[in-house]
Amino acid sequence: MKALLTGNEAIARGAYEYGISVAAAYPGTPSTEILENISKYPEIYSQWSPNEKVAMEVGVGASIAGARTLVAMKHVGVNVAADPLFTAAYSGVRGGLILVSADDPGMHSSQNEQDNRHYAPFAKIPMLEPSDSQEAKDMVKLALEISETFDTPVLLRITTRIAHSQSLVELGEPMEREIKPYTKDAKKFVMIPAHARTRRVFLEERDAQLATFSEQSAANFVEMRQQSFGIITSGVSYQYVKEAFPQASVLRLGITHPIPKQKIMDFANEVDTLFVVEELEPYLENQIKALGIKVVGKDLLPPYGELSVSLLQKNLGAYLNVANPSVAVTTEQSNIMQEVQQPFTAPVRPPVMCPGCPHRGVFYVIKQLKLVVSGDIGCYTLGTMPPLEAMDTCICMGASISAAVGMEKANPELAGKLVAVIGDSTFMHSGVTGLMDVVYNKTAATIIILDNSITAMTGHQYHPGTGKTLMNEDSPTVDFAALAKSLGVRRVAEVDAFDLETVKKVIQEEVAAPEPSVIIARQPCALMLKGQTEAVVCEDCKACRVCLRIGCPALSFDEEGKTVVVNKPLCTGCNVCIQICKFGALRKGGA
């Protein structure tokens, strides 16, 4: 039986079919749905971890205990998990261990763009790259077999288009889950220097064995067509190549570390002009050039952003016609090339906070107080957008608090003018360590934890502060106030995020205090409460437009009628706008 699955769903299905017993992750787009779908299979223990480093360590431990294991994260998460990953490359595995890295070319939902293929040769672990959902599932099996055969974690690298695109997948029956018998093996799993030195040699021997495997693997295959030009590619780029140049000969690499050098040289000898089509860095291109092979790649294609069919046809097609007039693109391709040269006229739709978002009022107050804001990653990052524009920095997960320490230490005049904002999930991820630093290094930083009781931006995942696990079981709930006090913060305040007067008063008091303080601003995510309250109504509007300064999508202005209009289907009745209207024109629905 076949089913239409996204790449993320297919990886989850592969975990179910091929004997994965443990799965761990921290949610991050585009990887989030992998664990959400794995959690639908009760045969697999699955969990959200506070951050990616913890998830990786959970995975390594499960593998050592004998279970087939999968760990998933977005590309920047691998930076967080790199420490245990690199040591796990030394220790190897007992049960097969897969790390899924979901890269985000084009930065659809990320603070940077990085090509995580480089992690594979860096850590000296094998890497697989599926080109569609069927391969995403199949490569879970292949990765587990490689992992257990060659005693190594395996990097399964996908990109946003693979993660979220759908294609047909053949479903199979699950194999029996086995936990290998545990036996102590300190020389393998205790990486003291004496043991690690032995394993360091093993890494080189393993890489050589994997190179031989890569030469013979069906995951790397040739589709030979016309010989005037050939293309080496991998991942989703293979799909673009097939659509853009159906007449081209193609070497598709499913194993991109180690690369099959002899297979590449043989293919290069069969074609007149050789291209490498790959997103982001010239990862394959540089390795192929190192083999002494003339190849065209990043001369024509950008080392950033996503590729597309039209981009390939435009750039490679133009090169082929100029460099080799006997090689012509088809009429259809020529038409597409002309189309892609037309300006893109779709209207720009900047992201905004949801109607009723509890973060909006806090940022409105912060802007009123003209504070410097050290920001973080999450829904609240949108506080940097107009009309709020209430954020000065945003670096990475958990960095708001520690960056505020640095800002205050570097410029003491900022003390009393500076706040760090962080969401509840991000605080769990890696904000706690920053708060320790605030106390330990004696700063007067004010930390505002925007607690909407969920990991909202990635789609409502639980975390240790929510009282629920991924498998929907009740669990102890982290008490943010008690945690802050246990770290040495003496000033801890809890406020209703919708009570603007109180929010303003508390922020003023805590920023003025000459010691660390934590403000916990609470209201659940608006999407969790939508439809539970009456929409706001507007009557006798004075057309001052002050309410529009909070940037709520549920409010607009009717120029002809000279009045603010409330979009009732959007309005959640948070009543923040009512507190801002000086004329009482905005009122509670039903009042």
Q: Which residue positions form the known binding site for [4Fe-4S] cluster?
A: 541, 544, 547, 552, 571, 574, 577, 581
Answer yes or no: are the C-beta atoms of 115 and 256 closer than 8 Å: no
Answer yes or no: are the C-beta atoms of 241 and 250 closer than 8 Å: yes
> From its phi and psi, is residue 27 left (phi > 0), alpha (psi between -120 and 50) or beta?
beta
- Structure token digits, residue 84: 């245990």
Backbone CA torsion sign across 240, 25, 470, 109: negative
* Strand locations in 11-93 (E): 20-25, 45-48, 68-74
d(CA 424, CA 455): 8
Strands 555-558 and 563-566: antiparallel
d(CA 282, CA 234): 12
Answer yes or no: are the C-beta atoms of 321 and 328 closer than 8 Å: yes
The binding site consists of 541, 544, 547, 552, 571, 574, 577, 581
Which among 277, 286, 326 is positioned nearest to 306, based on CA atoms? 277
Q: What share of the chain is helix, strand, coil (3-state, %, to 5)?
A: 40, 20, 40
Q: Which amino acid is at 579?
A: Q
d(CA 463, CA 476): 11
Which residues partner with 453 through β-bridges? none
d(CA 73, CA 31): 6
Backbone CA torsion sign across 214, 216, 218, 222: positive
Exposure on the CB side of residue 33, measured as CA atoms within 13 A: 15
Q: What is the largest CA-CA distance in the chain?
A: 80
Phi, psi of 436 (to 5 degrees): -60, -40
Q: Tell the burial category of 220 from Cβ atoms under 10 Å away from its Cβ (0-12, 13-18, 19+).
A: buried
